[in-house]
Chain A
């Protein structure tokens, strides 16, 4: 270390000086002096040995390190001596740094992730987009065509999530699966840990390739990482798939938050789906695509070539360009892989990042204020030190060192706070699958933020101290600076800006909270409170599915508390089928209109179970089974779209122009949301449910005090098992829970921003309190005189309160103005509330005034407690 080297240097120089003295003494002796006199003379000639030493040392490189070390120790001593100051400063900083680090680690994991594959930059996500630019998936036929006919991708792979249940000896194991095209692993460039990856030969003919590769984590979990796993067979219903390889350890799928346990060739899809094939058809959109750009091809060129390609595709596959589900093919950067979480959270996360940055500004202002107040009280010390020769630059450096030390402590504490916040976040956001941890990037971020903060809050007092004029300060007993500081008032400016920023944060959190509450209170069009939804898979059995379902309904109805049972093809948030180009009796379509409608199949009693009111006509009955493909119930939106104010009941339509119009509308129901709460209700037709191996059961149940919904759910689970032991229950939970899940990002943003708003408020109050308390202390004499001269305590109270509130009001006005300018940024996140909602602005201002007044009241009261005699004697 440097001080050790310094020691040897010092030692060396001591020796040199000694030899010099000896030489000098020897010379003096030659001139005739006695030995002792000669030595003294030598010393006299040399002069101040220590000064010489200091000068030599100052020429040394290590000197600046040494002074830093000294400054650090001095700063540490000072911080230890003022534990309250240190605690408040460190804590408010640590909160700011912690919040920033936590949000950044989330941003890092969710938004900045890069796939662990070679040359991730040349990967692209190829997306199917509807004419309305909403996201969709490709059908197998479209994917095959694009893969074959494009000239811009070195390879284009398709994949689809596929939940599986593996048959073990005595139970079933639910697995996350992914069906992938044969070139999937070669396009991504993923290597096997052992064995081999899937290859195009494994995806050639439907149903002919019973092979699979498994993920590293699943290999460890289920097979103990044994190499003998190769060649082993996994049973999924009637299919046995041979494991041919294990995927490299660091690769866990192309989607950030879906880590498959097993990858299976697309060709096996029909087998895994009870024979219903999605292959070689345009009817089912189910594939996502990832491609690798050919060398030298830019993203924009690929994008442009997709436009041409789509036109050719339509011609080749005889798609009606006006009504093709595929409106556009999008090409996006794919280095980060595919992530619904990124899509869902990217905007909220950047907004949160901005909010925490503002929070940090407030914390910095706080610490700056504290340091400022303290440097004012230290002005006498500084004056003395300048008077005895300390360099001003050294003083400034010392103040900055103190700031840096504060920041360093706060940084360590802040990282700890970040860990706590992250843990809480994952619980709030229900994204436990997310592997958020502190990596080097996040730590570097925390350190950079801390350094920036240290500079920000350290500079103000340093500059203020630079103004110290030793002469007048010493003469006035150290008070002049304090008073002039308050007049110049950087501390007041800081408090004003804190208030302004707090107001912005409060407005933002208010708007986001109201959005969340609006959605939460929103009536989805069905009764979410009393309905339990179960996703049930019916594996291939020889039993007729409709019979099985009837048996299931009977068993479920027998459970205590259950009133009604129905089935549907899709549950809430699961999407629906889309059917294009219906031809409706008595309706002439415009040239460019969107002819897509949504279709969902339901059993009789579905509307009663979900409490969706029937507006006209009738519900399905079991009797409709005979002509299941010829009856439909439509929603209000669809009725209004095609029939205006006429009664649609009894009218007919066809799925495709030219086909006989043989589907009769038998009823109209009220609109209900089916995917999420924000969407606009589409035109929706409900068909009679029959067949279909996977379906959702809706169970309407009344929860009572001694029989909560959870008990009903437990009994339902058992009832489903007794109906048929081979049924697989994927999820069973209240619909309200499913609906809430679609609100997680809103909930996360609302709760976090409210938390940050509260924190901002707290920090601002500390700032206000600090500045006013300090002001009151400085003005003790003045208050004493006022009181002695007959001022009422009430007057003093009012004076201080007014002074403080004036700061708050200025801050609020500035804040309102800035919030007015900035709140438009939030527009896309809001629901049911305008960005410039006057109500929210007013409430935010009121909260700030009330809380601010409370913070001011403390010091103001103290001012009234001044004893005139004591105050005057002090003088």
Chain B
């Protein structure tokens, strides 16, 4: 059931993983930072549901694409966060998903706007 609020778009299935991996390419981050980053870079168009963010993080960690570690926050040393970091396997996975996504996007584009092509 699509939500009818403020023009937000539901994430396509499977794309969240790719977005998380891409976000972590900038360096380690904790769950909140990842969610905020995705939200901000898309001008709040993509809202990451926490109900799916954390399961996704744990899933990616179990698959070995992410590694996690509890560390104190950089600005507030008292607080500890669970920081996720991209592994080598994760980088590879990101490349694979990216190329798959590109193919898909161009395929969809060709169907949707045939005239604009070529």
Contact = CB atoms under 8 A, between A and B. Distances in A.
A59 B52 CA distance: 11
Interface string A32-60: 00000000000001111001100110111
Given A16-B31, A23-B81, A24-B32, A59 B50 contact: no
Given A19-B79, A19-B80, A19-B82, A56 B55 contact: yes
Given A59-B62, A61-B62, A20 B50 contact: yes
B54 A16 contact: yes
A51 B52 CA distance: 10
Contact of B79 (A22, A52, A58): A22
Contact of B58 (A24, A27, A46, A56): A56
A13 interface: yes
A628 interface: no
Contacts of B70: 15
B31 A47 contact: no
A17 interface: yes
B49 interface: yes
B51 interface: yes
A13 B36 CA distance: 19
B59 A59 contact: yes
B30 interface: yes
Contacts of B55: 52, 55-56, 58-59
Contacts, number: 53
Contacts of B31: 16, 20
A17 B35 CA distance: 13
Nearest to B52: A55
A610 to B, nearest CB: 85
Interface residues of A, number: 23
Interface string A3-34: 00000000011011101101110010000000
A56 to B, nearest CB: 5
A23 B30 contact: yes
Contacts of A58: 55
Nearest to B33: A23
Contacts of B51: 47-48, 51-52, 55
Contacts of A15: 70, 82
Interface in B52-75: 52, 54-55, 58-59, 62, 70
The list of the 4 closest CB pairs from A to B, nearest first, reads: A23-B32, A55-B55, A59-B55, A16-B82
Contact of A55 (B30, B36, B54): B54
Given A20-B31, A20-B32, A52 B50 contact: yes
Contacts of A20: 30-32, 50
A46 to B, nearest CB: 5
Main secondary structure of the interface of A (DSSP, over half): helix
B20 to A, nearest CB: 14
Contacts of A22: 79
Contacts of A47: 49-51
B11 to A, nearest CB: 15
* Chain B CB within 10 A, most for which of A24, A56, A58: A56
Nearest to A48: B51
A788 B37 CA distance: 78
Contacts of B81: 19, 23
Main secondary structure of the interface of B (DSSP, over half): helix
Interface in B25-40: 30-33, 36
Given A23-B79, A56-B54, 17 more contacts: A12-B82, A15-B70, A15-B82, A16-B31, A17-B54, A19-B32, A19-B81, A23-B81, A47-B51, A51-B51, A52-B51, A55-B52, A55-B55, A56-B55, A56-B58, A59-B55, A59-B58
B116 to A, nearest CB: 39
* Chain B CB within 10 A, most for which of A12, A15, A59: A59
Contacts of A13: 54, 58
23 contacts: A13-B54, A15-B82, A16-B31, A16-B82, A19-B30, A19-B32, A19-B80, A19-B81, A20-B30, A20-B31, A20-B50, A22-B79, A24-B32, A27-B36, A46-B50, A47-B49, A52-B50, A52-B55, A56-B55, A56-B58, A58-B55, A59-B58, A60-B62
A390 to B, nearest CB: 21
A52 to B, nearest CB: 5
A46 B31 CA distance: 12
Contacts of B32: 19-20, 23-24
Nearest to A16: B82
Contact of B50 (A45, A60, A61): A45
A344 B80 CA distance: 78
A67 B110 CA distance: 46
A48 to B, nearest CB: 7
A47 B50 CA distance: 8
A19 B31 CA distance: 9
A27 B73 CA distance: 14
A47 B58 CA distance: 18
A31 to B, nearest CB: 12
Contacts of A27: 36
A790 B79 CA distance: 85
* Chain A CB within 10 A, most for which of B31, B58, B82: B58
* Chain A CB within 10 A, most for which of B33, B55, B70: B55
Given A23-B81, A59-B59, A59-B62, A52 B54 contact: yes
Contacts of A19: 30, 32, 79-82
Nearest to A24: B32
Nearest to B35: A20
Nearest to B80: A19
Contacts of B82: 12, 15-16, 19
A859 to B, nearest CB: 52
A24 B32 CA distance: 7
A13 B80 CA distance: 13
Contacts of A60: 58, 62
A390 B53 CA distance: 25
Contacts of B33: 23
A719 to B, nearest CB: 88
Contacts of A52: 50-51, 54-55
Contacts of A17: 54
A52 B55 CA distance: 8
Nearest to B56: A59
B14 to A, nearest CB: 15
A52 B82 CA distance: 17
A15 B59 CA distance: 18
Nearest to B61: A59
A681 B81 CA distance: 96
A60 B81 CA distance: 21
Contacts of B50: 20, 45-47, 52
Nearest to A53: B54
A65 to B, nearest CB: 15
A55 B51 CA distance: 7
A446 B77 CA distance: 61
A50 to B, nearest CB: 10
B105 to A, nearest CB: 28
Nearest to A20: B32
A22 B62 CA distance: 25
A19 B30 CA distance: 9
A448 to B, nearest CB: 33
Contacts of A51: 51
Interface in B63-107: 70, 79-82
Contacts of A56: 54-55, 58
A13 B57 CA distance: 11
A752 B11 CA distance: 69
Nearest to A22: B79
A49 B45 CA distance: 23
Nearest to B54: A56
